[in-house]
Amino acid sequence: MRWVLTISIVVAHSQVAPPATANQANNAAPQISAPTPVSAKDSVDLLLSFQRTLADQAKAHQDSIERAAEKHQMFLESWYSRICTWGGWIAVGFAALLAFFHFKSKGEVSREVQVLFENKASAIIAQKVREFEGELSSNREKVRIQVEELKNETTKDVDFVCEYAAVMVHAAMVLSTDPKSIAPDQMKRRANDARDRLEKFQTRAPLQRTTAIFVARLEKVAGDFDAAQKALKRVIEGRRKKGKPLDRDTDQAALLFNRACYLNVMGRQTEATVPKAGEKLRAEAWDVLKECVEIEPKNLEEAKSDDELLDIVNSGGRKWDDLKQ
């Protein structure tokens, strides 16, 4: 401020005109009156006032700068505090992560993750294996019993098939024996023996066609046509109870055909002594044959040429054409 004050004093003194010389006074042109001189006191007052104004402005400017600097410092301190806080939390978290996993590098991270995964997978597999072994151990006895039962059932089935085949072969041999080559009583005993053996197996397959027909034919060989037709009737009715397809298949038609034959032979044998009873048996045979042809129409032609059915149309007004569909 000193240089400002010095300049102001110089300017103030320069406004006072110096005294004119004689030549200057005579030769000078008329001039405007000189300005009123300013006293030293006024100049000092003016300078002091100007100084005070400059001081006030300087102070105001300094205050403004200080306030701006204070705000800027507060702003910087605020962000610095935040950055330090965030950085501190990040550093703490990262340090905790490193401390937990004990890593120092990316490779160590990958290896540790792989180890943790393998350990977890191994633990799960081990647990499942233990559970499976526990279940297997608890059910081992049940499994063993079931396997034994299955083996026993399989053995029984194989034994049954083998024995059944042997019995069927025996029955076929008896049926193929010429009645004239053996005494009637002996033939009857063989037939009954083969029938008894077949009937034991018939309990395992009560609706089987071949077994039923063999049993009935053995009864016929033994001379008992009534027992023969009853043996077939039991199987026919059993198949009817089961319903389709057993009651309407070709096996059912074959069973019906054989029964019709035996009923008609019984009617033939009976009508000589009891005509009405004989006709009743023939009528029943006709109804059975009719059902057979309904199931299997081609059996009609076979019936026309069968010795045991030839005379079924010779009485009672029955005609072969009545069986045609």
For the segment 75-91, what is each residue's pLDDT rounded down to a tens digit?
Answer: 766 666 666 676 666 65
> How many of the other CB atoms lie within 10 Å of CB of 221?
21
Q: Are 259 and 281 in contact (CB under 8 A)?
A: no
What pLDDT is stored for residue 119 in this prediction? 75
What pLDDT is stored for residue 33 in this prediction? 47
Quote the CA–CA distance of 128 and 150 in Å, as a whole number.
Answer: 29
The per-residue DSSP string of 240-268 comes to HHH-TTGGGSHHHHHHHHHHHHHHHHHHH
pLDDT class of 30 with cuts at 50, 70, 90: very low
Retrieve residue 25's tokens: 């006074």
Tokens 């009534």 — which residue?
226
Residue-range domain boundaries for the chain: 106-175, 177-323
The pTM is what? 0.53
The SS3 assignment for 321 reads helix
- Across the range 254-275, mean pLDDT stands at 94
Q: Are 266 and 281 in contact (CB under 8 A)?
A: yes
- Specify the long-range contacts of residues 52-60, CB closer than 8 Å, at least 24 apart: 54/1, 54/4, 55/1
Quote the CA–CA distance of 270 and 27 in Å, as a whole number.
Answer: 200
Quote the CA–CA distance of 185 and 247 in Å, as a whole number.
Answer: 37
Q: Are 232 and 253 in contact (CB under 8 A)?
A: no
Q: Are 218 and 191 in contact (CB under 8 A)?
A: yes
What percentage of residues in the chain have a pLDDT greater than 70? 62
What pLDDT is stored for residue 8 in this prediction? 47
For the segment 208-252, what is each residue's pLDDT rounded down to a tens digit?
Answer: 999 999 999 999 999 999 999 999 999 999 999 998 888 889 999
- Across the range 17-43, mean pLDDT stands at 50
Q: Are 267 and 281 in contact (CB under 8 A)?
A: yes
Architecture in CATH for domain 177-323: Alpha Horseshoe (1.25)
Tokens 């191994």 — which residue?
122
- Across the range 286-312, mean pLDDT stands at 93
Q: Are 231 and 218 in contact (CB under 8 A)?
A: no
Q: Which of 9-23, 135-149, 264-278, 283-297 has the lowest mean pLDDT?
A: 9-23
pLDDT class of 306 with cuts at 50, 70, 90: very high
Q: Which CA distances in Å does 101 have to 33, 87, 105, 149, 252?
A: 101, 21, 11, 57, 82
Q: Of 220, 203, 218, 191, which is closest to residue 164 (Cα–Cα)?
A: 203
For the segment 133-188, what is each residue's pLDDT rounded down to a tens digit?
Answer: 676 666 666 656 766 666 666 666 677 778 888 888 988 999 999 988 999 999 99
pLDDT of 325 above 80:
no
Retrieve residue 44's tokens: 């000092």
Amino acid type, 208 = Q
Quote the CA–CA distance of 187 and 22 in Å, as a whole number.
Answer: 200
Q: Are 233 and 213 in contact (CB under 8 A)?
A: no
Torsion angle defined by CA atoms of residues 302, 192, 280 and 250, in that order, rounded to the nearest 10 degrees: -40
